[in-house]
Structure 1
Amino acid sequence: MAASPAPVSAATPSWQVASAGLPSISRLRDVTAAGPSAAWAVGYQNQNYYPAPGDELKQLYAVTRWNGATWTQQRLPGDPAELSGVSASSAADVWTVGKDRQLRPYAARFDGSAWTEVHPLVADSGTVLSDVAAADGKAVFVGGTGTSEPAIVEWDGSRFTGRAVTVADSWGSELYSVAALPGGAAFAVGYKYRADGTGPFPMVLGRQGGTWRVAAVPVIPNATLLTVAARSATDVWAVGTIDDSYTRTPLILHFDGQSWRQVAAPVPAGTLSAVAADAAGTVWITGTEDSGRTLYLRHQSGRWTVEYGVPVNSTYGTGHPAFSGLTAIPGARGGFWGAGGVHDAVQGDIAVIGRRG
């Protein structure tokens, strides 16, 4: 494991968090930005944890767009039930994925003026799509198939093509997050279970030269990678959690173009859920301390800074935000968006947006 200098703790968080303006019960799962005045966040709203028969259909997706001044909800064709991933290569090339009301994979694309429903997979394929990454007018979709092979689908600008990847010594695997770069490199992360039933173990797949391969990563039992961010093909970060049922330990992996290494986290315990990196090399990671406080971890010039979030007010009290999506804001130096939710004991989850810079 690569050691890091002792972290510095900030007195007050540099992140500002506010309600996303969605009705309860709601949560945002992911966020992307094409510039200072163009961002999108996706998730769900009006979820009922204990629905009466027939009420399941009341759950609604959530997609909200930032125009530089306000966030405004948008409508999607096909009326999906929930969205889990979103990615923009430009303000006229935005993709989102999730599931429809029959729990089948759903995807849509925004061309700068309107959203269009697309079909990367056969509707009854049994595959789950968790995330999408857009670059160079193309897109990569990832998820799970319920088998040892994860799901990877590529859009080349005119058609969708599934990519089969064999994961050795596995009876089950799934990809949660994908990052794509101009030029064709891409990275996807998740977990796998070994054929003997042990696991989960962190899993990383990389695309170089048009071919997807399972990457060699540190063997870490009871560990899952949830999200990945690629600043370049030689600077890639993936985060998640090691959970042995007794303790939860942050997991950070870094790829330097040659190998994946585990990086010592600047905090000893807790969970990590999102990561993003900007063009200047600043990396932000968010998570949750075991006490419930929000963690904001910044890596810059080889050093860590740790910030602890403050509770956010809601109708019935306060709660600590938990982010599942982060993105750097192109053209805004030091600017980042975060998307997630705050748990309210009465209302349930309430969607929030975080901003830095």
Structure 2
Amino acid sequence: MLRSLPRATTALALGVAAVVVTAVPSAAAPVQNWRDVSPPNSDGSVLFDIETTRGATWAVGVHSDETTRPSAPVALRWTAKGWQAPPQPADHGRLDDLAAGAPDEVWAVGYRHEPVGESDWDRGRALLQHWDGTRWSEVHPPFPAQATNTYLSAVDVDAAGSVWVFGSFTDADGEYTSALFRGDADGEGDLTRLSGDTGLNWVAELKATRGGIVYAVGDGISRFDGTTWTKQNLPATLDTALFDGIETRTANEIWAVGHQRDDTLWRRPVVVRYDGRAWSTVAAPAETGQLFDIAFDGLGRPVVVGETMDPEVNPAGNYVLTPGPDGSLTRSEEPPGAGFLYAAATDAAGRVWTAGGAAGAEGGVSPSAYAGIRR
């Protein structure tokens, strides 16, 4: 399943009357300085996340062809010579999310497959892997001994270097259960299982902030204070919004992006902002678009990435929103060669990186991996 397909398909959609957030820095003219740095020879691959820290940039995803049965994880490291692919713990599976606390503290999550007999594969199980600056190794979260159908969907590293991982499993009674795991940054300490009772049906991404506060986004937004999860109060028109990305600009400014189902548009972009007191809607175009991630450039301006299935909006499929002169988000940038975009991150130089699939998708499936840099 690629992210160009809906993460959840049961939510109903409502129209949204967006409010302009004038505190967003804006530019008089759009920035179009994107450079295509896609990994070569990546046919059959797509990148789901990209992260950068202290000069280290990683991207993760999946590769599918007749040799990978059913798929193979992808983890790429950017170097002065381009992308490298160090060996990984799992030969079969996929990686959905990535977190980088330092060049030698990188984490990735997803699931792995193992062969069953000569012609079949298991249903998959959770995969958590850690990069120590030299190699990837697998780390085993403390799921209950009788847990089945284990899966990890999100990971983040906080300012203190602790890693936070969100996942799910089926318990001994056959009940679906969510779990939050926390561990030391060195990758050697034990992970501790905490409450995963977010009040959400699924979690797409975590954002760990100072003081041990963690936000989760999925079919809503929830906040963890170290003990208890509290589902956040969003504007009433967003009761059915689905979120895939979350990012902090300052300690009291948090943004989340996603979409709503729309009878006319299919998917309609949704952006919300928390100002330390309440969540409000940020104005976005009323057109077909699905948002997956957000980053802030060197001037503090949001860059929101996603996809559109409407060729009249963009036949290449990429969908990028940046603030216009009035502070509302507008579609004015198009990274060359990009198709569906699933991830964004900002490096120490203020450059925005994005990743996903290359242009030319057929049936919602990208032909190869894409990565780009915006200076």
Q: Which runs of 5+ in 2 are unaligned?
A: 1-17, 114-121
* Distance in 1 separating the partners of 2:333 and 2:167: 32
Q: 2:340 aligns with which of 295, 302, 322?
A: 322
| More deviation, 224-233/280-289 | 280-289
Aligned positions of 1:254-265 closer than 5 A? 254-265=273-284
- 1:337 has 2:365 as partner: no
Q: Which runs of 5+ in 1 are unaligned?
A: 192-202, 313-319
Shift in Å at residue 232 of structure 1? 3.1
Shift in Å at residue 104 of structure 1? 0.6
Shift in Å at residue 351 of structure 1? 0.3
Alignment correspondent of 1:64: 76
Deviations 1:12-57 (A, max 9, x none): 733223432243211001010013x310000011x14xx7xxx763
- 1:208 has 2:225 as partner: yes
Equivalenced residue count is 327
- 1:178 has 2:206 as partner: yes
SS at 1:89 equivalent: strand
Alignment correspondent of 1:2: 19
Shift in Å at residue 184 of structure 1? 2.3
- 1:217 has 2:234 as partner: yes
- Larger proportion of strand: 1
Shift in Å at residue 159 of structure 1? 2.0
Alignment correspondent of 2:125: 104
Shift in Å at residue 294 of structure 1? 2.1
In the superposition, relative to structure 1, how do residues 348 and 165 fare at CA in structure 2: closer, same or farther (>3 Å)?
closer
* Distance in 2 separating the partners of 1:300 and 1:91: 35
Aligned positions of 1:168-317 closer than 5 A? 173-191=201-219, 203-208=220-225, 211-219=228-236, 220-247=238-265, 248-266=267-285, 268-278=287-297, 280-289=299-308, 290-291=310-311, 292=315, 293-299=317-323, 303=327, 304=329, 306-309=331-334, 312=337
Tell me, yes or no, if the aligned pair for 1:149 and 1:164 is still in contact at 8 Å.
no
In the superposition, relative to structure 1, how do residues 67 and 182 fare at CA in structure 2: closer, same or farther (>3 Å)?
farther
Give the aligned CA root-mean-square deviation in angstroms.
3.0
In the superposition, relative to structure 1, how do residues 26 and 56 fare at CA in structure 2: closer, same or farther (>3 Å)?
closer
Shift in Å at residue 255 of structure 1? 1.0
Shift in Å at residue 67 of structure 1? 2.2
SS at 1:332 equivalent: coil
* Distance in 1 separating the partners of 2:198 and 2:95: 27
In the superposition, relative to structure 1, how do residues 276 and 58 fare at CA in structure 2: closer, same or farther (>3 Å)?
same
Tell me, yes or no, if the aligned pair for 1:93 and 1:111 is still in contact at 8 Å.
yes
SS at 2:195 equivalent: coil
Name the aligned partner's letter for residue 326 of structure 1.
A
Tell me, yes or no, if the aligned pair for 1:126 and 1:145 is still in contact at 8 Å.
yes
Alignment correspondent of 2:86: 74
Q: 2:155 aligns with which of 132, 157, 163?
A: 132
